[in-house]
C-alpha cells in the first residue's frame, strides 16, 4: 500500500475509535434514489465537492460546498459526492449535512470507510450513498459493509482499479462499480482502464468512470460502456463551474 494511503487508513482507525459511543443526529431528510439519477439515457455526472487532496494540496481556497452543490444541481448533475475526510481532504461531516439539505439529488459520502460506524454517520448526516474502496478492504469487510449500508437503505459505489478488484466487488454483491483510473499506490492515471474493464460488466451494473476526466474528449471514448462519471478536480479548479460543466458534457465549440 502506498505510504500516503497507509497513513490515511491508520488515521481512519484512530478516528473510528474516537467516534465510538458518540450520539449521532436523527436523520430528517429522505434518501434519494441513486439508480434513477445515474442509470439514465445519457452519461450522468457525479459532481464532487472537495477542497483539496494530499497529492494536489488545496484546490479551491474559497470553498463553499453548498454553493458548489447548487451549481452542480442546476447544471444537471445526477448526484453529488462530498469529501468528508478532514485531515487530508479538508472536508467534514458538516459539509455532507449542509449539501444533503440544500439539494434534491443523491449525495454520496466519499471517505475511507472501514467500519459500520462510518456508514451510520453517513446515514445520520444525510447521505443517500457511500463509497467503499476495494483496495483498503478485505473481501469479508467489503461484503459486511455493503450489507450494513443496504440495511440502512443506502446505495454503495464500490471503487476498483483492476479486474481482480472488480471480481471481488461483484462477488460481494456490488451493483455500482467505480473504475478508478488513478492507481492509489502510485497516483498515476491509466486512462485506458475504463475501455478495458467496463465493457466486460453486465449492463445491469451502474458503471462509473473515476479520475482523469477533464474534457469532453476524455469521456467521449467511454460512451456506450459507462453510465456515469465522477468528476472532482476539474470542477474544483474551475472559475465558472456552470460554464465548464456545460462544456464538459457538450464540448466547448
| β-bridge mates for residue 48, sequence order | 81
Give Cβ neighbours of residue 6 (< 8 Å, ≥ 6 apart): none
CA dihedral 238→56→2→163, nearest 10 degrees, is 10
Q: Tell me whether residue 69 is exposed, middle or buried, using C-beta atoms within 10 angstroms of its C-beta: 0 to 12, 13 to 18, 19 or more.
A: buried
Cell 494536489 found at: 56
**Helix or strand or coil: residue 229?**
strand
Cα distances from 242 to residues 76, 184, 190, in angstroms, run 9, 29, 28
DSSP assignment letter at 126: T
Q: Which residues are catalytic?
A: 48, 50, 110, 159, 180, 210-211
Q: Supply 174's cell numbers.
A: 456490488
Q: Supply 27's cell numbers.
A: 436523520
CA distance 10 to 56: 21
Burial 110-146 (b: 16+ CB within 10 A, else e): bbbbbbbbbbebbbbbbbbbbbbbbbbbeeebbbebb
Amino acid at each position: 500500500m502506498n505510504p500516503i494511503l497507509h497513513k490515511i487508513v491508520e488515521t481512519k482507525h484512530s478516528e473510528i475509535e474516537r467516534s465510538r459511543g458518540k450520539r449521532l443526529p436523527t436523520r430528517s431528510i429522505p434518501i434519494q434514489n441513486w439508480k434513477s439519477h445515474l442509470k439514465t439515457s445519457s452519461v450522468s455526472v457525479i459532481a464532487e465537492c472537495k477542497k483539496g487532496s494530499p497529492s494536489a494540496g488545496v484546490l479551491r481556497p474559497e470553498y463553499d460546498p453548498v454553493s458548489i452543490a447548487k451549481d452542480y444541481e442546476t447544471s444537471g448533475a445526477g448526484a453529488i459526492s462530498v469529501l468528508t475526510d478532514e485531515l487530508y481532504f479538508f472536508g467534514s461531516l458538516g459539509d455532507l449535512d449542509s449539501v444533503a439539505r440544500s439539494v434534491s439529488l443523491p449525495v454520496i459520502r466519499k471517505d475511507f470507510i472501514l467500519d459500520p460506524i462510518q456508514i451510520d454517520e453517513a446515514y445520520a448526516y444525510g447521505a443517500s450513498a457511500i463509497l467503499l474502496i476495494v483496495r483498503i478492504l478485505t473481501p469479508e469487510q467489503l461484503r459486511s459493509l455493503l450489507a450494513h449500508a443496504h440495511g440502512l437503505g443506502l446505495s454503495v459505489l464500490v471503487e476498483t482499479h483492476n479486474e481482480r478488484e472488480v471480481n471481488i466487488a461483484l462477488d460481494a454483491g456490488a451493483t455500482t462499480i467505480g473504475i478508478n483510473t488513478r492507481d492509489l499506490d502510485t497516483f498515476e492515471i491509466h486512462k485506458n482502464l475504463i475501455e478495458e474493464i467496463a465493457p466486460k460488466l453486465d449492463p445491469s451494473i451502474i458503471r462509473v468512470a473515476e479520475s482523469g476526466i477533464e474534457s469532453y474528449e476524455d469521456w467521449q471514448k467511454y460512451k456506450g460502456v459507462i453510465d456515469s462519471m465522477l468528476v472532482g478536480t476539474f470542477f474544483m479548479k474551475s472559475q465558472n463551474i456552470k460554464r465548464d460543466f456545460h462544456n464538459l458534457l457538450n464540448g466547448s465549440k
